[in-house]
Chains A and B, each alone.
Chain A
Amino acid sequence: MILVVVEHGNGRIGKSARELVTAARSCGVEGPVAALVLGSDVAAIATEAATLVGQVLVADRPELATYDAELWAAAVAQIAREGEVALVLIAASRSGREYSPRVAVKLEAPLIEGAACLTFEGGVVRGERYSFLSRVTETVESNAAVVVATVLPGAFAPAEALGAPGEQFDVDLELPERRLIVTGAQPANAGRLPLGEAEIVVAGGRGTGSAEGFERIVVGLADKLGAAVGATRAVVDAGWRPYAEQVGQTGVTVQPRLYLAIGISGAVQHLSGMNKSQTIVAINKDADAPIFTVADYGIVGDCDAIVEALKSAIG
């Protein structure tokens, strides 16, 4: 059996869950696909997940109302063990990448992190992933009896519903106590699109001049396009934008349909977080900026004037 762990929020299953189901189906010659829903008050989530897979395992408990790495790892490992799961698929979100190693250790299973491509044939799981700050594509494989893999957002197309809904089962879990106690939260992008899920990202660098310039140029264009806002490390370090918007090695990795880089020079650490985008546009006054080496469309010129013209043209 292949087990998919369903991410959800705001009463809906996440895009990542549908992508994992596609990944699981493509590996599915090795067995049926089951989805695991963890949370509190998740009946609607489970029903939505049941449109995608034959079996949905539901752990609906108040202790699971909010994510915790140790709780999630304990739950997933227990289900994987009891269900004789051969492949556990987890979204390569920040949380997924943080609890999946604990699942792997509990199962003494190898972990394939951030798979962009995944196959499962003849008992061998083979994954393609990025390394060396996303400058290298590597293929790794394992013939272990159980393998845990995290799958990059956007690597697989979101799955469509099956004809008949799958069965739902409530599962019993032994959960540990929480040790990490949350004492405060600073939600990112309140009211804005999550960076990782956005189809279009408008990102800005120091070339936007100031916090006010960034707001006017980058956020203004993002609003026009219904896009998420991204920023470089330099911009975040300068305090112009919150960490949560940082794209790159220390921030979020994005793979949108369209990435607009405005006033971004293109340090390796930034490129590693966006160089898989489908189409990249770079607008920068410095014609030698490394960002142009990964751009499909480049405009050398004044960011402010060009973006203002873009905003007017979009209407």
Chain B
Amino acid sequence: MRILAIVAQVPGAEERLKVAEGGVDLGASKLVLDTMDEYGVEEALRLREAGAGGDTAVEVIVLGVGPSRVEAALRNALALGADRAVLVDSGAIDLARDVVATSKVIAEVAKRERADLVLCGAQQADSDSQALGAAVAERLGWAQATWVTALTCEGRTLAGRHDVDDGQQDFRLPLPAVVTAQQGLNEPRYPTLPNIMKARKKELRMEVLAGFDVAPQVRLVKQELQHRERLHRLIPGSDAKAAADELLRALREDAKVLA
């Protein structure tokens, strides 16, 4: 069995973002392996360790699609334990706003690698897209389960639990499939020093986007840091009753958000 885990490189959650010339400038930001994708990589490793589907030779391949800097995130995933990596260098083409185009590249690699399972984060922390897993599944004609918080594999059947509109569901799903990972699925491991050393020698294959016949159909017009004016009115809290009365008055009479 082969598992393909998708890896994105995003600014750390606590990073201060900078906007220059109408777009987010990541030049000075510390970039990390997307946390949500990390749950996917971890799950792939756990499935390998558990001999998923009765297979003791599960291979975990990590794939990044984006600028060449994504190599660092792939190296990180290799240090966590992935067997090998593929980077499709998007060069000057910005695929970040067009998940439908990106999914074509990922599906093509999944086919070439004869993957049985694709894992990715349920939401990417740069584009805030939640579409990648489903788009890849559709490209491949595979089943999907999104926002998964528990997963096992018996033979060619996955079982697990995932978030839906009104709570959670337990499900069964045949392979091949795409699963999107999120918090709760597992607790990702830290890379160990020996694994970091080993990761340097693992295969990281570079490919270029030109071979994939993709043309983004979404154009980024501009990006702005959000700035919403807030009142920042502080109500003294030492006298609980006075504070409660004043808050209710303000919400009713000033903000008019309470009846």
Residues on A lying within 8 angstroms of B by beta carbon are 9, 67, 69-70, 73, 93-95, 97-102, 104-106, 108-114, 126, 129-142, 144, 179-189, 194, 200, 225, 233, 242-244, 249-250, 257-258, 267-269, 275-276, 278-281, 283, 292-302, 305-306, 308-310, 312-314
- The reply to whether B243 and A306 form a contact with Cβ atoms under 8 Å apart is yes
Contacts between chains A and B (CB distance < 8 A), count: 267
Closest Cβ neighbor of B184 among chain A residues: A243
**B residues in contact (CB < 8 Å) with A:** 11, 13-14, 17, 19, 24, 36, 97-101, 103, 122-123, 125-135, 137-139, 143-147, 149, 159, 163-174, 177, 182-184, 216-226, 228, 230-238, 240-241, 243-245, 247-248, 250-251, 255, 257-258
Q: A243-B168, A302-B237 are in contact. Are A309 and B243 (CB under 8 A)?
A: yes
* Contact assessment for B173 and A301 in the assembled complex, using a CB-CB cutoff below 8 Å: no
Knowing A105-B103, A268-B14, A297-B235, the reply to whether A137 touches B223 (Cβ < 8 A) is yes
Measured between C-beta atoms, what is the minimum distance from B96 to chain A in Å? 9
Nearest Cβ distance between residue B219 and chain A, in whole angstroms?
5
Tell me the minimal C-beta distance from A116 to chain B in angstroms: 11
Which residues of B lie under 8 Å from residue A132 when comparing CB positions? 11, 17, 24, 125-126, 128
A250-B183 contact in complex given A70-B143, A101-B103, A258-B257, C-beta closer than 8 Å? yes
How far, in whole Å, are A283 and B234 apart by their CA atoms in the complex? 10
Check A111–B131 contact: CB distance below 8 A: yes
Most central of A133, A144, A269 by chain B CB within 10 Å: A133
| Contact (Cβ within 8 A) B244 A133 | no
Task: Report B175 CB to chain A, min CB distance, Å.
Answer: 10
Q: Is there contact, CB below 8 Å, between B230 and A295?
A: yes
The answer to whether B135 and A102 touch across the interface, beta carbons within 8 angstroms, is yes
Bound complex: CA of A93 vs CA of B126, how far in Å? 20
B221 and A126 contacting across the interface, CB-CB below 8 Å? yes
| Residue contact B226 to A181, C-beta cutoff 8 Å | no
Q: Answer whether A101 and B134 are a contact pair too, CB < 8 Å, given A114-B128, A135-B226.
A: yes
* A296 and B231 contact, CB distance less than 8 A: yes
Shortest distance in angstroms between A139's beta carbon and chain B's nearest beta carbon?
A: 4
B223 to chain A: closest CB distance in Å?
4
Which secondary structure dominates where chain B touches chain A? mixed
B173 close to A184 (CB less than 8 A)? no
Whether the pair B11, A296 counts as a contact (CB closer than 8 A) is: no
A261 to B145 Cα, complex, angstroms: 32
Chain B residues, Cβ within 8 Å of A110: 98, 100-101, 216-218
Q: Chain A residue with minimal CB distance to B249?
A: A313
Q: Please, which residues of chain A bring their CB within 8 A of the CB of B167?
A: 185-189, 242, 244
B149-A140 in contact (CB<8A) = no
Q: Which residues of A contact B103 (CB under 8 A)?
A: 101, 105
Which residue of A184, A188, A189, A301 contacts B243 across the interface (Cβ within 8 Å)?
A301
Enumerate 26 A-B pairs (CB-CB under 8 Å) in ascending A order. A69-B146, A70-B144, A97-B131, A98-B144, A102-B134, A102-B144, A105-B139, A132-B125, A133-B13, A138-B221, A138-B223, A140-B218, A180-B172, A183-B159, A188-B166, A243-B163, A244-B168, A249-B125, A258-B257, A275-B226, A275-B228, A276-B228, A280-B230, A298-B232, A299-B243, A301-B236
Known: A134-B128, A188-B166. A296 touches B100 (CB 8 A): no
Closest chain B residue to A91 by CB distance?
B165
Residue of A nearest to B242 (CB): A309
CB–CB A185/B131 < 8 A: no
- For residue B34, give the distance in angstroms from its CB to the closest CB of chain A: 11
- Assess the B14–A101 pair: CB atoms within 8 A: no
Chain B CB within 10 Å, residue with most, of A9, A132, A250, A308: A132
